[in-house]
């Protein structure tokens, strides 16, 4: 008996094979069901714990209070557009930095979805960009704090940080879902 041995099972002998299947080795592929290998992209199921849900809701509710209350006389939107105490140039430069960050994140997310099988090495570009985005984000945060300091003074730091965290919570829940493509199926024969 080449390739196997006999194993007693319930009064009968059963032949046991030592071959690991055709898909694991590249030799002598036959046209049967075992020679078909179907690769599927991993499905990521993210389940949130109650703590994570509570934290996300807390950030959003706190940001809602900040936007609604503003400077306790009018809401934040009215204050940003009409208050003369704001240093406008610094606020606009910080806003430009935030827009650049959003454009970069959208660009890399679309690039990651569309350039999966390209020969272009986009990981080097995104790694360099992360440093740029981090520095630009810190600079924008500082510019926002400097621009809004005359209104809230010391409370500007936690207010801007809370608005930042609420925007991160909202943006992280806006995930672009990619559709499954038929190019993931590989047939060996």
Query: How many domains does one find in the chain?
Result: 2
Render pLDDT for 42-70 as a digit per residue (tens, 0 to 9).
Answer: 555 567 788 988 999 999 999 999 999 88
Is pLDDT larger for residue 156 or for residue 34?
156
**Shared-domain flag, residues 80 and 133:** yes
pTM: 0.62
- Pair (20, 111) in one structural domain: no
Residues 142 and 95 in one domain: yes
- Per residue, the 3-state secondary structure of the chain, as one string, reads CCCEEEEEECCEEEEEECCCCCCCCCCCCCCCHHHEEECCCCCCCCCCCHHHHHHHHHHHHHHHHHHHHCCCCCCHHHHHHHCCCCCHHHHHHHHHHHHHHHHHHHHHHHHHHHCCCCCCCHHHHHHHHHHHHHHHHHHHHHHHHHHHHHHHHHHHHHHHHHHHHHHHHHHHCCCCCCCCCHHHEEECC
Based on the fold, state whether residues 24 and 66 are members of the same structural domain.
no
| 135 occurs within a structural domain | yes
Q: By residue range, what is the domain housing residue 92?
A: 50-172
Is residue 21 domain-resident? yes
pLDDT of residue 74: 86
Condensed to tens digits (0 to 9), the pLDDT of residues 88-135 reads 999 999 999 999 988 888 777 777 666 655 555 666 666 778 888 999
55 and 98, same structural domain? yes
């Amino acid at each position: 008996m080449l390739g196997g041995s006999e194993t007693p099972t319930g009064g009968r002998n059963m032949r046991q094979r030592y071959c690991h299947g055709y898909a694991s080795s590249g030799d002598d592929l036959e046209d049967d069901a075992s020679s078909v290998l179907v690769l599927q992209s991993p499905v990521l199921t993210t389940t949130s714990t109650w703590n994570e849900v509570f934290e996300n809701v807390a950030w959003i509710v706190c940001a809602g209070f900040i936007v609604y209350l503003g400077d306790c006389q009018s809401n934040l939107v009215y204050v940003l557009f009409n208050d003369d105490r704001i240093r406008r140039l610094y606020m606009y430069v910080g806003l430009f930095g935030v827009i650049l960050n959003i454009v970069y994140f959208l660009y890399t997310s679309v690039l990651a979805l569309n350039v999966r099988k390209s020969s272009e090495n986009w990981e080097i570009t995104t790694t360099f960009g992360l440093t740029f985005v981090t520095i630009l984000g810190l600079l924008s945060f500082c510019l926002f704090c400097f621009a809004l300091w005359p209104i809230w003074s010391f409370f500007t730091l936690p207010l801007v940080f809370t608005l930042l965290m609420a925007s991160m919570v909202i943006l992280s829940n806006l995930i672009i879902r990619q559709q499954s493509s038929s190019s993931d199926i590989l047939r060996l024969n």
